[in-house]
Amino acid sequence: MNVVYILLPVALLIAVGYLILFIISVRKGQYDDTTTPAVRMLFDDDEKKKQDDSEQE
Amino acid sequence: MECTHCGLPVPAALVEPEADEQFCCNGCRTVYRVIQGYGLDRFYDLKDVSDARQAARTTDRQYREYDDPKFSELYVRPAGSGLRSVELYLEGVHCAACVWLVEKTPVLLEGVHEVRLDLGKSMARVTWDPARVNLSAVARSLDSLGYPAHPFRGVRVRDMRRKEDRALLIRIGVAGFCAGNIMLISFALYGGMFHGISDEFRNLFHWASLTISLPAVLWCAGLFYRSAWGAVRARTTHMDIPISLGILTGFLWGVFSTVTGRGEVYYDSVTLLIFLLLAGRWVQRNQQRRAADASELLYSLAPTSARLVVDGQVHESPLEAVLPGATVEVRAGDSVPVDGVVLEGNSSLNVALLSGESRPVEVQRSDRVFAGTENLASRLLVEVTGTGEDTRVGRLMKLVEEAGRRKAPVIRLADRISGWFVSTVLLLAAGTALVWWWIDPGLAVEHAVALLVVTCPCALGLATPLAVSAAIGKAARLGILIKGGDVLERLARPGRIVLDKTGTLTEGKSRLVQWIGDETVRADLAALERHSAHPVARAFVEGVEPSEEQPNAILEDARGGGIRGTVDGRHVVAGSPGYMRSRNASFPAWAEAALQEVTTAGLTPVLVSRGEEVLALAGIGDPVRQDSRSTLRRIGEAGWQVEVLSGDYPAVVHAVAADLGIDPARAHGGRQPEEKLDYIISAVAADEHAVVMVGDGINDAAALSAASVGVGVHGGAEAALSAADVFLTREGLSPVAELLDGARRTFKVIRLNLIFSLLYNLIGAVLAIAGRIDPLAAAILMPVSSLTVITLSYRANTFRRSRNR
């Protein structure tokens, strides 16, 4: 059971890391607009694929 | 045949048999050419065919005012390394392909760095290099793609809100982090409850939970403490008081147990409670924000520029740069941007939005004109006497602000309950402590604390926000945008509903309502009126089905209240009674009688003659909306008292009221905006029931904001819509009835939610008094009660489209 003394802080440390990432992403405005990015990333991918295709040809 | 650009059907007259491409309108043709010209035709692959179809609209605006230093000062911000950025509201944005096309603007114009479009809000952020391209050129190319641009006025307010939103989101994140991690640790503790746990690990887990709960209890829940403290100081009750009480008792008892090493801890329940309540607030805020955003964007559509005349040259200039004494040009179809005096030109103005008068007003040299009216007929030159806040509209908007500030806040049902809730819970806790003191003094405090924690009103706190935000979301899908949650509670019980006439009960446009006499001159007159831009002329043209062959009409004169000309060689004269008399037309007896009839019906009479004798009489008026009658009946049946309050002539108002079956004693005409405001203020003061004002014009705006609930109807003035608590994006009056019905049903849901959450609290309280509550039971009861409330709120069928159309 003594392994808990290591496990607990390590688990918390990882969780805090994700919390910090979340706070950074909120501050950067990732959650300001939740509709458009879902649409926009579709276009970008499509175009890249098109370019890749033409490069292969 | 479908339009190549937008997919709407092409009118038969515009079909080109030879061409591959077909267009429903000129806007679509222009946009199609631009898109093809830049090789952006991938737009059509991306366009989802099932998407809402919308014809493209372009304007011939030059957007010169966008290059003015005053404009930059107001709207443009530096974006680093010599770049500038501006937020523009774009008309016509409706689908995913629009995002692609708008963001391709840098392809069209060199020097445009980036364009980012927010699809939900139709807002584009343009970043460009002022050394290489002018902003007016950017706006012109957006326009040429079918997205006319408007500068966004509320940048500062929006930035502030964005900051608040982000702060709340971080709070939710932190609270969720704390709740989640404590829950993991609590599983170990629950396991220990059943299978035993050594004191060493129990203490470790307690201390770990205590540490993790600190940010949630001390920082995240700060919102609740602050509003609870505010309510205590103001000696009112508020839902946040029992919430704060529950959180703090649970936490402090946990600290006590942890430090002394004996007793129960409730960190898991307390942090989960904080997380759920914050999330509930977020949901509600987002729903209300949507309506507020939409009304602010409408405000951006109001004119921001004027056509300034300097040395005979016309420049587009930002409104803020126009000073009294300057001369501005107002073209036909434009709205008048300033208060002023006419220097040159004759025209008629639509003043319905400003004063409620349905008949167009004729203006000529040295007449006063006001901002917010619409120039209908021909070009005017106006000398500016006032702009911005110094206009009639500006002064009315000040009244709106004051009226809004004076409005008393509604005390919500949940807050009223919370008053006796707190006292009951405290009494019960004291009772529990006393009883257990007598049974087992060691357990007395512990059971009392358990009661306080388990009755902490999580579901009660969520009951109203969730029911309201679910209802607001459903209403928005019906074109009813609700800005505040308390609106629904105010509308729950019937009271008085006061409606404006022009533009609310009626369509707000001149139309041909009545035609008495010879039908054959009707087509001739329409052919003649086609050549005139006068609003009455338009009513005639719209009132006649276009025929296959257009007769050959020659307009001779259209001045002084009438029109004359020849149609296929027949001489036709039409005009007001005075005009006809001055032209010596002969009035048969039936015409005199008909004239009397039309005038009493509140219509504007137009006499038509061929040669000398009057053959027909037309009544031009503002017809009642199709759904007004059925809507008023539904509202009346629901128990509301219907009244009419209008700025139009009393005779016209009474005629409309009689037509709609409204008691003439409750139809008031000839009211100035200030009088409307006073009427509403005294109605609100006199009556404990809700006083609802429904209107569309600037003249209604102050009354809208003073009423218990102000409803702005579709097509109204931007000022009126932003003053209203609710505004409609759907044509007609039936959404008003849907709103009242929906509010009543929403209130039922709120009540049901409150009953269920109180029931859970009752169960919890009984268990606590019996000494049967432990942290595990508390941790199960709370989410189950919240889940019930969530399900009830989102399953409820609150807003429905009315069937009778």
Taking the mean position of all CA atoms in its chain, how far away is CA B492? Answer: 20
Q: Give tens-digit pLDDT for B11-20.
A: 777 777 777 7
* Residue in B closest to A13 by C-alpha: B181
Which band of pLDDT confidence, cut at 50, 70 and 90, is reported for residue A18?
very high
Task: Say whether B212 and A4 touch across the interface (CB within 8 A).
Answer: no
Q: B181 at the A interface (CB within 8 A)?
A: yes
**CA–CA separation, B778 vs B22, rounded Å?**
68
Q: Is the pLDDT of residue B672 over 90?
A: no
Measured between beta carbons, the chain B residues lying within 8 angstroms of A8 are 185, 204, 208
| B173: nearest CB among A4, A26, A34 | A26
B491 close to B744: Cβ distance less than 8 angstroms: yes
Chain A hits for B85, CB-CB cut-off 8 Å, are none
Which chain B positions have a beta carbon within 8 Å of A29's beta carbon? 162, 166
In chain A, the largest separation of any two C-alpha atoms, in whole Å, equals 62
Two structure tokens written together for B339: 């208060």
CA dihedral sign of residues B207, B212, B218, B222: negative
Which residues from chain A sit within 8 angstroms of residue B119, using beta carbons? 33, 35-36, 39
Backbone angles phi and psi of B145, in degrees to 5:
-85, 0
Q: Does B117 touch chain A (CB under 8 A)?
A: yes
Q: What is the 3-state secondary structure (H, E, C) of B466-535?
A: HHHHHHHHHHHHCCEEECCCHHHHHCCCCCEEEECHHHHHECCCCEEEEEEECCHHHHHHHHHHCCCCCH
The pLDDT-based confidence of A27 (bands split at 50, 70, 90) is very high
Q: Give per-residue pLDDT as tens, B301-332.
A: 777 788 888 888 888 888 877 888 889 998 88
Tell whether B77 lies on the interface with A, counting CB pairs under 8 A: no
Q: What angle do CA B723, B400, B715 make, to 5 degrees?
A: 35
Q: How far is CA B165 from CA B219, B220, B322, B608, B750, in A?
A: 16, 14, 37, 63, 26
B687-729 pLDDT, tens digit per residue, is 788 899 998 888 888 888 888 899 988 877 777 777 788 988 8
Tell me the pLDDT of chain B averaged across its residues: 84
Q: Do B166 and A39 touch (CB under 8 A)?
A: no
3-state secondary structure B93-135: CCCHHHHHHHCCHHHHCCCEEEEEEECCCCEEEEEECCCCCCH
Mutate to test the interface with B, among A26, A30, A46 (most CBs of B within 10 A): A26
Q: Which residues of B fall within a CB distance of 8 Å from A43?
A: 46, 99-100
Q: Give the strand pairing for B327-330 and B374-375.
A: unpaired
Average pLDDT over residues B194-201: 86
* pLDDT score of B805: 42
- Which residue from B121, B181, B201 is facing A12, i.e. has the nearest CB? B181
Q: What ipTM is given for this predicted complex?
A: 0.81
**pLDDT of res. B216:** 95
Q: Which CATH number is B64-152's, of 3.20.20.220, 3.40.50.150, 2.40.280.10, 3.30.70.100?
A: 3.30.70.100
Do residues B399 and B674 touch, judged by C-beta distance below 8 A?
Answer: yes
For residue A3, give the chain B residue with the closest CA: B201
How many structural domains comprise chain A? 1
CATH homologous superfamily for the domain B479-507+624-744 = HAD superfamily/HAD-like (3.40.50.1000)
Tens-digit pLDDT profile for residues B218-264: 999 999 999 899 988 988 888 888 889 889 998 999 999 999 988 88
For B353-370, the pLDDT digits (tens) are: 777 777 778 888 889 998
Which residues of chain B does A36 touch, with a Cβ-Cβ cutoff of 8 Å? 99, 116-120
- DSSP β-bridge partners for residue B116: B125
- Quick check: B645 pLDDT over 70? yes
CA distance B657 to B651: 10
Sign of CA dihedral B610, B616, B620, B626: negative
For residue B375, give the nearest of B357, B399, B351 by alpha carbon: B351
B207 in contact with A, Cβ within 8 Å: no
Is the minimum CB–CB distance between B46 and chain A shorter than 8 Å? yes
On whether the CB atoms of residues B275 and B179 are closer than 8 A, the answer is yes
Cα(B97)–Cα(A36) distance, rounded to whole angstroms?
A: 11
Q: Is B563 helix (H, G, I), strand (E, B) or coil?
A: strand
Q: What is the domain extent for residue A21?
A: 4-56
Provide, rounded to the nearest whole percent, the portion of chain A with pLDDT above 90: 37
Q: pLDDT of B263-301, one tens digit each?
A: 888 899 899 999 998 998 888 888 877 777 777 777 677
Closest residue on chain A to B117 (Cα): A36
Q: Which residue has the tokens 């939740």?
A: A34
Answer whether B381 touches A (CB < 8 Å): no
Q: Name the band, by pLDDT with cuts 50, 70 and 90, for residue B550.
A: low
Put simply, the answer to whether B208 touches A8 (Cβ < 8 Å) is yes
CA neighbor of B275 nearest in space, from B184, B171, B187: B171
| Chosen from A33, A34, A46, A50 to mutate, greatest number of chain B CBs within 10 A | A33
Residue A21: which residues within 8 A CB-CB, separation 6 or more? none
B151-182 pLDDT per residue, tens? 887 777 788 888 888 999 999 999 999 999 99
Q: How many CB atoms sit inside 10 A of residue B675's CB?
A: 15
Residues in chain B within 8 Å Cβ distance of A40: 99, 103
Instruction: Decide if A39 and B184 are in contact by the 8 Å CB cutoff.
Output: no
| Dist CA B89 CA B73 (whole Å) | 18
Domain spanning B511-621 has what CATH number?
3.40.1110.10
The domain spans of chain B are 64-152, 479-507+624-744, 511-621
Q: Which residue of A has its CA nearest to B188?
A: A4
3-class SS at B338? coil
- Tell me what the mean pLDDT of segment B335-347 comes to: 88
